[in-house]
Amino acid sequence: MKNYSSLKKLNSECVECTSCNLSKTRKNVVVGKGNESAQVLIIGEGPGEQEDITGLPFVGRAGKMLDTALSSVDIDPLEDCYITNIVKCRPPNNRKPSAAESEACMPWLNEQVNLLKPKIIILAGSTAVQSFLGINEPISKIRGQWIEKDNIKYMPIFHPSYLLRNPSKNKGKPKWLTWQDLKKVKKELNSI
């Protein structure tokens, strides 16, 4: 992977990528969206059906859930964040990306991190945590705890799809816990 001088250049080459089998079934490569000067990078697992159709990450029901969760702590999803995924092409039937697919796509993500230089990275779901940090703990165990590496603070949270399946807002439930996690992110963001 070469070093890119801008996200625009990276994006234009990433959309042509055929480095793994997901290129055979995708409609669009979903590179990322948001503010390229943002301090917060959000990394999910991979594009779903709506993302594959539109070429944009987190635009389906899970995306709306993420937007709502961020807005509830006064983080603007598009102004304060840049949003992407571990794999840029949709795994068929929304299955988890394989280790080989995640590995093949990682150079794109690493280069995005190099260019964006985020201070905070939110890792949404266990696939993002495992693939990016190599931590195999269940997300329920590590969510909400800052992990610091190479001058970047990482916050693991539940994937928004999981919140859709667990709609209760009661104290101690996944939605409430995510709200606590994002409040920590907002506090950190305010201190930058």
**Contact residues for ligand SF4 (CB under 6 A)?**
14, 17-20, 22-23, 29, 87-89, 101, 104-105, 108
- Residue 31 or 70: the one with the smaller Cβ distance to ligand SF4 is 31
Least CB distance to ligand SF4 at residue 181 (A): 27
**Which residues fall within 8 angstroms of residue 160, CB to CB, at 6 or more apart?**
44, 58, 62, 63, 65, 66, 69, 124
- Residue 108 or 158: the one with the smaller Cβ distance to ligand SF4 is 108
Least CB distance to ligand SF4 at residue 89 (A): 3
CA torsion 59→62→68→72, rounded to 10°? -130
- Residue 88 or 175: the one with the smaller Cβ distance to ligand SF4 is 88
Least CB distance to ligand SF4 at residue 87 (A): 4
- Residue 106 or 164: the one with the smaller Cβ distance to ligand SF4 is 106
Q: Tell me the helices (H) and strands (E) count for the chain, helix number first.
A: 8, 6
Q: Exposure of 9 by Cβ count < 10 A (0-12 exposed, 13-18 middle, 19+ buried)?
A: middle
Least CB distance to ligand SF4 at residue 147 (A): 24
CA 81 to CA 36: how far, in whole Å? 8
